[in-house]
């Protein structure tokens, strides 16, 4: 791969502070980009103002800086991209690839959370309605650099999914695909909690004629006791004065082998070492890792 061809990114959601799991994902994407001389972009996924924790955008930036991360160019905010999202939604509607859904929450209960297609052919007006993407009864699959082959039958396992919510919020699945393409991202490195979102994103890329990035999903950090996998479980916010020890711990989590001499190094020195020694093939081939098992 020629170095200038690689564009990676970190895309935090400002619903809270960065925690150890976010550090592992940020570090993996950073090292994977820098190890081959690639660019590393920062994108704030602020799609959901009601769920945004006040002050978290600033706190995320300060933490990344304290941990020695340097991003290329200006940070992009999804809250500034609504016009681009609207244009694509309009296009999908015009082509009959998406449709308005007026089902109530009650109507959506059951069916294991998979939308049964009730409004597919009802031609509802689009105001005061959610917009759903029509999905085909087809399997979408890809080979993840860490997790290996992953497949999903979109119709059966996911169903027609929402790209624009009734309350006006844009869906992550749509925004992430449009922005990765717009920013020229070639390599998506993120937590394995998003593995099962990837086939939806592949389908959107195919519909819109966008290039498919490579994917690398790092293990999701779960409860210290290894139980109750929690999307809900979040380790505490990352303290700025623990950058060295926590970067070392994140490197061990990613299967890298920092030597003991690095124990008292600064964040910048650790990152420089880690870029020079990055080996993505050492990342544990597991969807989850319990925090307690980590050094
Ligand atoms: N914003 C998402 C999150 O914080 C990550 C999106 C992505 O990397 O695709 O979980
Ligand atoms: Zn409906």
Residue 143 pLDDT level (bands cut at 50, 70, 90) = very high
User: In this predicted structure, what is the pLDDT of residue 28?
Assistant: 98
User: In this predicted structure, what is the pLDDT of residue 223?
Assistant: 79
> What is the CATH T-level fold of the domain 82-172, as seen in this structure?
Rossmann fold (3.40.50)
Whether 230 shows a pLDDT value over 80: the answer reads no
- Is 126 annotated in a binding site? The answer is no
Q: Over the stretch 242-253, which tens digit does the pLDDT of each residue have?
A: 999 999 999 999
How many C-beta neighbours within 10 Å does residue 294 have? 14
Whether 229 shows a pLDDT value over 70: the answer reads no
Residue 294 pLDDT level (bands cut at 50, 70, 90) = low
CATH architecture of 7-79+185-198+213-294: 3-Layer(aba) Sandwich (3.40)
> Residue 176 Cα, ligand 1 centroid: separation in angstroms?
8
> Residue 185 Cα, ligand 1 centroid: separation in angstroms?
14
- Is 12 annotated in a binding site? The answer is yes
User: In this predicted structure, what is the pLDDT of residue 227?
Assistant: 67
Domain(s) labelled CATH 3.40.50.620 in the chain stretch across: 7-79+185-198+213-294, 82-172
> Residue 190 Cα, ligand 1 centroid: separation in angstroms?
7
CA dist 19 and 154 (Å) reads: 32
User: In this predicted structure, what is the pLDDT of residue 232?
Assistant: 62
User: In this predicted structure, what is the pLDDT of residue 224?
Assistant: 77
Whether 231 shows a pLDDT value over 70: the answer reads no
Residue 292 pLDDT level (bands cut at 50, 70, 90) = low
Tokens, residue 268:
């910048």
In this prediction the pTM is: 0.95
Q: Over the stretch 57-72, which tens digit does the pLDDT of each residue have?
A: 999 999 999 999 999 9
Tokens, residue 110:
């059951």
User: In this predicted structure, what is the pLDDT of residue 293?
Assistant: 59
Residue 139 pLDDT level (bands cut at 50, 70, 90) = very high
Whether 117 shows a pLDDT value over 90: the answer reads yes
Ion ligand 2 neighbours, Cβ < 5 Å: 101, 103, 118-119
User: In this predicted structure, what is the pLDDT of residue 140?
Assistant: 98
Whether 39 shows a pLDDT value over 80: the answer reads yes
CA dist 144 and 151 (Å) reads: 10
Give the β-pairing of 76-77 and 187-191. unpaired
3-state SS of the chain is CCHHHCEEEECCCCCCCCCHHHHHHHHHHHHHHHHCCCEEEEEECCCCHHHCCCCHHHHHHHHHHHCCCCCCCCCEEHHHCHHHHHHHHHHHHHCCCEEEECCCCCCCCCHHHCECCCCCCCCCCCCCCEEEECCCCCEEEEEECCCEEEEEEHHHHCECEEEECCCCCECHHHHHHHHHHHCCCCEEEEEHHHHHHHHHHHHHHHHHCCCCCEEEEECEEECCCCCCCCCCCCCCCCCHHHHHHHHHHHHHHCCCCCCHHHHHCCHHHHHHHHHHHCCHHHCCCCCEEEHHHCC
Say which range, 6-20, 33-47, 101-115, 225-239, has the weakest mean pLDDT. 225-239
% pLDDT > 90, the chain: 88
Give the β-pairing of 187-191 and 214-218. parallel
């Amino acid at each position: 791969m020629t170095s200038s061809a690689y564009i990676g990114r970190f895309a935090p959601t400002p619903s809270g502070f960065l925690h150890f799991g976010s550090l592992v994902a940020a570090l993996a994407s950073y090292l994977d980009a820098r190890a081959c001389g690639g660019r590393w972009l920062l994108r704030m996924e602020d799609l959901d103002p009601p769920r945004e924790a006040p002050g978290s955008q600033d706190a995320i930036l300060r933490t990344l800086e304290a941990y020695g991360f340097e991003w290329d160019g200006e940070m992009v905010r999804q809250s500034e991209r609504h016009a681009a999202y609207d244009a694509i939604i309009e296009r999908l509607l015009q082509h009959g690839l998406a449709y308005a859904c007026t089902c109530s929450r009650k109507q959506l209960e059951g069916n294991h959370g998979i939308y049964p297609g009730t409004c597919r052919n009802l031609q509802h007006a689009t105001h005061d309605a959610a917009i759903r993407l029509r999905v085909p009864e087809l399997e979408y699959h890809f080979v993840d650099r860490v997790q290996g082959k992953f497949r999903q039958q979109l119709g059966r396992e996911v169903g027609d999914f929402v790209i624009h919510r009734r309350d006006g919020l844009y869906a992550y699945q749509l925004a992430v695909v449009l922005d990765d393409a717009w920013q020229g991202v070639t390599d998506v490195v993120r937590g394995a909690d998003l593995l099962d979102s990837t086939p939806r994103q592949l389908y959107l890329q195919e519909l819109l004629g966008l290039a498919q990035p490579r994917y690398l999903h790092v293990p999701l950090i779960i409860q210290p006791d290894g139980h109750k996998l929690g999307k809900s479980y979040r380790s505490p916010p990352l303290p700025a004065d623990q950058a060295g020890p926590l970067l070392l711990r994140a490197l061990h989590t990613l299967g890298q082998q920092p030597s003991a001499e690095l124990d008292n190094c600064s964040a910048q020195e650790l990152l420089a070492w880690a870029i020079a020694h990055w080996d993505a093939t050492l990342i544990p081939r597991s969807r989850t890792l319990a925090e307690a098992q980590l050094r």
